[in-house]
Amino acid sequence: MDTISAETMAGQRLMVGFDGTFFNDDLKWLVGTLRVGGLILFSRNLEEPDQIRQLCQDCQSYARQCGLPSLFIAIDQEGGQVARLKPPFTQFPGNPAMRDIEDAIRFARVTARELKDMGINMDMAPVLDVAPENTDSIMAQRAFGSDPQWVTALGTTVIDHLQRRGVMAVAKHFPGIGRTVLDSHLALPDLDADMAALTNVDLVPFAAAIVNNVAGIMLSHIRYTAIDPMWPASLSPSVTTDLLRVQMGYRGVVMTDDLDMGAIKPGYDIDTAIERILLSDVDIALICHKGPDIEAAWEKIRRSTTEDADLNDKGARSFRRILELKKSYLSGSWMQRYGLSAA
């Protein structure tokens, strides 16, 4: 770890969005100068298969040229309401329409094949939120359903069949936003459910995802007053360190939801958000739009982990978790894990 620069360690803890459909000077700066660990693709980056494939190849080639680890290249491809890839890619009706385990298997198999063919190695899926019946849940059109056991069964199936085909799954939105009716894209919701309700319902699919070695877990931008009455989950040590890592035993990569969302902006400036993330054992900050916050986040991570011994230790652990995940999935090790061959 001593030979890794603070600049590289800071960059690897960022996953960022960008503008454009081809490798450009902005991407050269993000990858080569800020040394970001991951990119996330949106509709603004996607035109047709050959263009997407070339974009991903060029980004990975430049990372290698710079002597950096392979990039996480992520996308939100849940099916239904949230699917960035449009035809000719396979279109699925979405999680609420899944009738049985076979539907989940087919979704994951087809999606993994299409993502891998493009060079996309991470899917921000599955949604593991439990949306209660008879409520105006913000996740009603994206969740598998209202029964935590059903959500668990379908969610873990998607995780297994994405990951056995080399696509990292990211379970979201921990510790569960199915009970909320206010959209965190617009403002910061409070959730007043007690810990017994969360444990018996909302946390059940995430506990199973941990047992099934999910590659990543995404934190919500919801304030869970029974856990931490001050900070949203994405900025709370009580949620990530105490609940997710200590109580639930998760040792994998944890990331925030998009820090550009209304639940975070304008209530928390980027320095405050990153400071809280660093305190919370969160590995990756997700910033989905081009702008000054990306460089400001990088500088805050670099400076804080250099000047504070405790944050330096936490940062080293995060860096190791990120590199271990990249080694597992971007070097072919996942094939041995699942007993697969290169053919």
Contacts of 256 (CB under 8 A, 6+ apart): 218, 219, 221, 234, 235, 277, 282, 284, 285, 286
299 three-state secondary structure: helix
Left (φ > 0), alpha (ψ -120 to 50) or beta: where does 19 sit? beta
- Burial label for 292, CB within 10 Å (0-12, 13-18, 19+), is exposed
Question: Which string of b and e fits 83-114 if b means at least 16 CB within 10 Å?
Answer: bbbeeebeebebbbebeeeebbeebbeebbeb
What's the chain's length in residues?
343
- Integer Cα distance of 314 and 305 in angstroms: 8
Identify the CA nearest to 123 among candidates 96, 84, 88, 154: 84
279 three-state secondary structure: helix
Residue 281, amino acid: D
Token pair listed for 231: 């900070």
Count CA atoms within 13 Å of residue 136 on its CB side: 3
Residues assigned a catalytic role: 185, 257
Identify the CA nearest to 295 among candidates 73, 29, 70: 29
41 three-state secondary structure: strand
DSSP assignment of 56-104: HHHHHHHHHHTT-PPPEEEE-EEETTEES--TTS-----GGG--SHHHH
